[in-house]
Chains A and B, each alone.
Chain A
């Protein structure tokens, strides 16, 4: 898993692309444009955006778990400052931040 040939490393700051293409996407709308850090590298997986339309999902994409402070995701978040949200984002949805 750690030998994943990804662009990003654990702890690196990233921003989710604020992009809104049509079609099947695994990047929830609420997280687009938000800034977080790489929590772990999950490995490479067939691209779900291709699989959804009957293609083979190649080339595979590197999948990361990205950690976001809740206050970054929801500026009016009312829970504790230290609360976090973690989700899985494919490499092609991430930019260095």
Chain B
């Protein structure tokens, strides 16, 4: 649990309640059968899952920090996210990327209500809360309440825009660059850009 927010017992973005879904049961049953027959081992499955995480490290912070310091790159990222990332040496593979920009008038947050579509090539594997039914159901319905649970309070004069990544596009949020970071190096700026800020559930802050 990486967030300091509070939530009522047995709910909150990280947790789903209820029994495993039919698909989870099927996939577990399949894995057990394959293991019993010696086709695969549990260790191989675990190692593959670990490799998945290494295949897709969290690289989005470098792209966004670059967009903060280079207005031409920022324009390109907004225009064609995939091409901008390619220029930066990050191949998004099959993913099309839409970058959405936070401004003093707009706060963006991303979800996939149908499953857990996520820009893996840019942000790594999705966090558990992103895949939870709780987050997926509620952030489209009551985004401000969900954001508050992440410690993010959006004033009423700011438009909250929820982006449902329900088909072929993937999304990344360009947060607002905090005041007081003038003259910072890209590397130092990148350190402010947590994964959650690039999904839009938090905003980057200077820690005193």
| Interface, chain A (partner B; CB < 8 A) | 26-28, 30, 42-43, 45, 48, 63, 65, 70, 73-74, 77-80, 82-90
B72-111 interface code vs A (CB 8 A; 1 in, 0 out):
0000000000000000000000001010000000000000
B139-180 interface code vs A (CB 8 A; 1 in, 0 out):
011111000000000001111111111111100000000000
Asked whether any CB of chain A lies closer than 8 Å to the CB of B34, the reply is: no
Q: Given the complex of chains A and B, what is the CA–CA distance between A95 and B174 in angstroms?
A: 32
Partner of B161, one of A43, A74, A83: A83
A78 touches B142 (CB 8 A): yes
A residues in contact with B165, CB < 8 Å? 88
**Complex A-B: 16 CB contacts under 8 Å:** A26-B167, A27-B166, A42-B167, A42-B169, A63-B167, A73-B140, A77-B141, A78-B142, A80-B156, A83-B159, A85-B161, A85-B162, A86-B162, A87-B166, A88-B164, A89-B167
Q: A79-B143, A79-B144 known; A42 and B159 CB under 8 Å?
A: no
Asked whether any CB of chain A lies closer than 8 Å to the CB of B113, the reply is: yes
A86 touches B164 (CB 8 A): yes
Partner of B159, one of A27, A80, A90: A80
Min C-beta distance of A18 to chain B, whole Å: 17
A residues in contact with B169, CB < 8 Å? 42, 63, 65, 88
A residues in contact with B167, CB < 8 Å? 26, 42, 45, 48, 63, 87-90
Q: A42-B169, A65-B169, A80-B156 known; A85 and B164 CB under 8 Å?
A: yes
What are the 3 A-B residue pairs with the smallest beta carbon separation, nearest first? A88-B167, A87-B164, A82-B159
Partner of B163, one of A48, A63, A87, A90: A87
B141 touches A74 (CB 8 A): yes
B residues in contact with A87, CB < 8 Å? 163-164, 166-167
Min C-beta distance of A29 to chain B, whole Å: 9
Min C-beta distance of B174 to chain A, whole Å: 16
